[in-house]
Amino acid sequence: MKLRHLRRGTQGLGIFLGILGITGIGMTHIIFPGLHCYACPLSVTVCPIGLLQNLVIVGSVPFYLFGVLAVYGLFLGRGWCGWFCPFGTVNDLLSWRKARFRKVLSPFKFLVLLGTVVAAWRLADTWFCKLCPAASLTASLPYFAMGLAQPTTPFFIHMGTLAATILGMALVARFWCRYLCPMGAILALFNRASFLGLHLDPQKCTGCGLCQKACPMGIDPHWEGNSTNCIKCGECVNACKQRALSLRFSLPGARGYAPLRIPWPRSRADRVFSGK
């Protein structure tokens, strides 16, 4: 429970930093470590996906963007999704129904990322921003409430994508994070190499499945921890009565945690932990 309370605190910090403009600070060149629209009236940071599209459009090599994303990815991996991202927090708040992870849909977030880049290159426009539900929530709605946006076709498109995403999140916990988020796809590439990682003690694991029931991403943390779909939120750690799972910083090679499909019970945990 302490881990959960700590996560709520860092999620609150993410929301606060997302609207730091309320303090009077102007726009900076800081890249936000999550999905947050730079068109938000109180934003002082740059959306990594929006910046990526703009750099593709102008034909500039995004060295600064790639460097910052590599630092973010190596530090927490998809831990940013579970501990910081404001739109990830919205996903958490709407996670009323936990559903099993559909692996066949897992690659779709990488296709969204690829489609975002290709659309920016071929159409010379930030098409993802025009559909992004995070932008709908943090930019379109605030500007409409302030009387600075009219209910035109782009506004209704944003409201449609936001409504569809909210419905998906209500039906499937972390729906956006599981299947659609391009920022999550980028961070997923670093997930197994990041310093923050999920650790398994195979001598304590009994294969009870409580960690899987608690996981908002619907994966099996006792053998899929640190996979591209693990957001390292620690809910599985809280649920494990045997204290077989822990979340901590370490060198990736020190975990010995490999997602292998091998028969249960304990023999599987031993082989997962040893990486054999």
pLDDT score recorded for residue 252: 72
pLDDT per residue as tens digits for the range 32-76: 999 999 999 999 999 999 999 999 999 999 999 999 999 999 999
Domain that holds residue 87: 2-160+181-188
Average pLDDT over residues 117-146: 95
With 60 as the cut, is the pLDDT of residue 256 above it?
no
Asked whether residue 131 is assigned to any structural domain, the reply reads yes
Q: Are residues 142 and 219 in the same domain?
A: no
φ, ψ for residue 208 (rounded to 5)?
Answer: -70, -25
d(CA 110, CA 118): 12
pLDDT at 265: 44
Asked if 60 and 131 sit in the same domain, the reply is: yes
How confident is the model over 142-157, as a mean pLDDT?
A: 89
Specify if 167 maps to a domain.
no
Q: Average pLDDT over the chain, rounded to whole?
A: 88
For range 16-43, the mean pLDDT: 94
Q: Are residues 209 and 109 in the same domain?
A: no
- One domain for residues 137 and 41: yes
Q: pLDDT tens digit string along 162-184?
A: 999 999 999 999 999 999 999 99
Whether residue 213 is found in the same domain as residue 268 = yes
> How many structural domains comprise the chain?
2
Share of the chain above pLDDT 90, in %: 73
**In-domain check, residue 11:** yes
How many residues does this entry show for the chain? 276
Q: Are both 140 and 219 inside the same structural domain? A: no
pLDDT for residue 102:
79
CATH number at residue 205: 3.30.70.20
pLDDT band for position 222 (50/70/90)? confident
Please give the DSSP secondary-structure letter assigned to residue 136.
Answer: I
Based on the fold, state whether residues 50 and 135 are members of the same structural domain.
Answer: yes
Whether 170 is covered by a domain: the verdict is no
Q: What's the whole-number mean pLDDT along residues 253-261?
A: 47
Within-domain flag for 12: yes
**Residue pLDDT, tens place only, 82-123:** 999 999 999 999 987 766 777 788 899 999 999 999 999 999
Please give the pLDDT value at position 253: 63
Helices H / strands E in the chain, number of each: 16, 2
Backbone φ, ψ for residue 245 (5° rounding) = -110, 145
Minimal CA–CA distance to 158: which of 124, 118, 130?
130
Q: Is residue 176 part of a domain?
A: no
Is pLDDT of 267 > 90?
no
Predicted local distance difference test score (pLDDT) of residue 147: 87
Of the pLDDT bands very low, low, confident and very high (cuts 50, 70, 90), residue 202 is confident
Span of 186-195, 207-216, 249-258, 261-270 with lowest mean pLDDT: 261-270
CA–CA separation, 34 vs 56, rounded Å? 19
How many percent of the chain have pLDDT more than 70?
90
Q: Answer yes or no: do 7 and 138 share one domain.
A: yes
User: 152 and 27, same structural domain?
Assistant: yes
Q: Are residues 225 and 151 in the same domain?
A: no
Q: What pLDDT shows up at residue 36?
A: 93
204 CB contacts (<8 Å, ≥6 apart)? 242, 243, 244
Residue 257 pLDDT > 50: no
Residues 131 and 235 in one domain: no
Residues 76 and 120 in one domain: yes
Give pLDDT, residue 96: 76
Residue at 169 is within a domain:
no
CA distances from 256 to 107, 195, 198, 230, 240 (A): 25, 13, 10, 16, 19
User: Angle at Cα 168 formed by Cα 187 and Cα 122, nearest 5°?
Assistant: 55
